[in-house]
Amino acid sequence: MKSIVALQDAVTPWSDGLEPLDAELDAIEWELPLILAEVDLLDAEITVLDRTPSEVDERRIRRARRKVLAARRDLTNQAVAAAGMAGGAA
């Protein structure tokens, strides 16, 4: 019986550079409120995929959309403030 062996190196060889950088982790942490708001919106939308949305479902989706918009507004204002520019998104 012949053994099957890969003739090439692995597509992604293991190296120390595969871990996320501190700057990448900071960016994820900075955007976490938006990420969580988008997850809430997605969850609300998935809930009504296979049925007609009730009034409670519609309120939940509207609330989740407002939460996403507020998180985007806050991140935009923080980015503008960090860049030292005058004015903001809201």
Burial (CB count <10 Å: 0-12, 13-18, 19+), residue 37: buried
Q: Is residue 87 predicted with pLDDT exceeding 60?
A: no
Q: Is residue 12 predicted with pLDDT exceeding 90?
A: no
Domain that holds residue 56: 38-83
Residue 71 falls inside a structural domain: yes
Per-residue pLDDT tens for 31-60? 999 999 999 999 999 999 999 999 999 999
Share of the chain above pLDDT 90, in %: 67
| The token pair that represents 79 in the structure block | 């980015």
Residue 42 falls inside a structural domain: yes
Number of domains the chain is built from: 1
pTM over 0.75: no
Residue 17 falls inside a structural domain: no
